[in-house]
Amino acid sequence: MTLRVFFLLMLCAGLPITASAADLPTPKQGPVLRIQGSNTIGAALGPALVEGLMREQGLLKVHSETPDKANELRVVGETAQGRRVMVDIAAHGSSTGFTALKNATADLAASSRPIKDSELLALQSLGDLKSPGAEQVIAIDGLAIILHPQNPLNQLNTEQLAQIFSGEVKTWEELGGSGGAIHLYARDDQSGTYDTFKEVVLSRRGKTLNSAAKRFESSEQLSDAVSLDPQGIGFIGLPYVRQAKAVAIVDGQSQAMPPLNSLIATEDYPLSRRLFFYLPPNAKNPWAEALVAFAQSSNGQAIVAANGFIAQTVQAMAVTPNALMPEGYQALSRHAQRLTVNFRFEEGSATLDNKARQDLTRVLDYLQQNQKTNRQVTLVGFGDAKSDPARADLLSKLRAMAVRRELVKSGVVFREIRGFGAEMPVAANSADEGRIKNRRVEVWVY
């Protein structure tokens, strides 16, 4: 999808895009765009997307300049007339991005977690930052649990992770390994990576991070420290595994899942997460709008993949059937391929969430390009466990029908709509986060 086509799609959807690819202003002084927030995004992905947009704009001599302050940089390009065009990026953690929006010191917030209710309330004067045009999922990431390369453990479950990082489990021997005392490594309090880990692993079980953990603002430094410590364990964004060893993760009744691209793309991997740009509706900056559109375009998503994150580009993948799958699902996997996207829903509803709305366009584009719009698509719904299994079955099929209603509008004729209820959970049903992940719709093509 080209940037121009993406702008048209966003306009048709009523999203707040005011700049086109050809009319971005280049003032004589000061940055055209200020981005603050996530280190996960700001360390490499954000600058790469800005450089890509600048080159698409026809700017010359595009490069990055690093000031004296850690985790900050300036991306610079030149117009044909020699005027410098600058974008400033500060990557001190997701929460700092929302603070900067409130203080009017940033035009765009980069976050590796969803905006919190308290932040949404504090920023309401800027418009609804949960609206489809404001909350933009630009990539999928997975939190990898990393060990020293020689550590023999290959998998851990989320309950064990909570016990380890809270300090309840103190030695590797308690986990069936060896090496003595466990050394903990964690991101700092400003980090969206830490927020995600705290929410998904610690807070869900009423635990807090042990004060003995060594804290890092830099993802790269944390990973390198773990890879040099035989007793170390840490959590990190997927592109920053580097020389460390990533283990498979189990959540509840899910199968053990390594941080593979395909499992992260569908958000089935227990520690997968979304990376966001937040664009204030009432404080429009044309460069911010153009960067959001570029990030969602095929060129932008190629940059996402090149930087080690998971692009939202839809692909078909083979699934190997196994005995843990229901027979109907095994039959499906023998004859069809699954697309690398799961449709998920707003909490407590059958309404597609903001990422799902973006994915409708991507899935439709894939089906049309591959001539699969006429009875070659099966939708498969899943849900969380209910006291009445029949109700879980019904709700799972109703979610699939919600996706069907949207794609039928564009002429897709479906082969079959199926619901598997609460079977094949990808997360524990003991908390809202897990139940939301289990409420999903898969797309299969023949």
Instruction: Tell me the mean pLDDT per 10 residues along the chain, length 446.
Output: 47 44 77 96 96 97 91 95 95 96 98 95 97 96 94 95 97 93 95 87 92 95 97 94 96 87 91 95 95 96 94 94 92 96 80 91 96 97 81 87 96 96 82 78 97
Strands (E), 302-375: 316-317, 337-344
Q: Determine which helix (DSSP H) or strand (DSSP E) holds 141, and give its type and residue range.
A: strand 135-147
Q: Determine which helix (DSSP H) or strand (DSSP E) holds 384, and give its type and residue range.
A: none
Query: What are 362's two structure tokens?
Result: 């991507």
- Burial zone of 40 (CB within 10 Å; 0-12 exposed, 13-18 middle, 19+ buried): buried
Domain boundaries, the chain: 3-134+279-306, 142-263, 314-445
User: pLDDT for 373-422, tens place per residue?
Assistant: 999 999 999 988 776 778 878 888 999 999 999 999 999 999 999 999 88
Question: pLDDT at position 348, please?
Answer: 61
The backbone torsions φ and ψ at residue 148, rounded to the nearest 5 degrees and listed phi first, read -60, 145
Put simply, whether the predicted model's pTM sits higher than 0.85 gets the answer no
For the chain, what is the mean pLDDT?
Answer: 91
* Domain boundaries 3-134+279-306, corresponding CATH code: 3.40.190.10
Domain topology for 314-445: 60s Ribosomal Protein L30; Chain: A; (3.30.1330)
Could you please report the per-residue DSSP string of 65-110? E--SSTTEEEEEEE-TT--EEEEEEE-S-HHHHHHHHHTTS-SEEE
Question: pLDDT at position 349, please?
Answer: 67
Q: What is the DSSP letter of 144?
A: E
User: pLDDT for 195-240, tens place per residue?
Assistant: 889 988 998 889 999 999 999 999 999 999 999 999 999 999 888 9
Q: Is the backbone of residue 158 left (phi > 0), alpha (psi -120 to 50) or beta?
A: alpha
CB 230 within 8 A of CB 202: no
Check for a shared fold between 142-263 and 314-445.
Answer: no
Look up the CATH architecture of domain 142-263: 3-Layer(aba) Sandwich (3.40)
Query: How far does Cα 53 stand from its chain's mean position?
Result: 21
386/265 Cα distance (integer angstroms): 27
Question: pLDDT at position 431, please?
Answer: 64
Closest CA to 272 of 384, 131, 113, 98: 113
Q: Determine which helix (DSSP H) or strand (DSSP E) holds 397, and give its type and residue range.
A: helix 389-408
Question: pLDDT at position 2, please?
Answer: 45
The backbone torsions φ and ψ at residue 340, rounded to the nearest 5 degrees and listed phi first, read -85, 50
Question: pLDDT at position 436, please?
Answer: 79
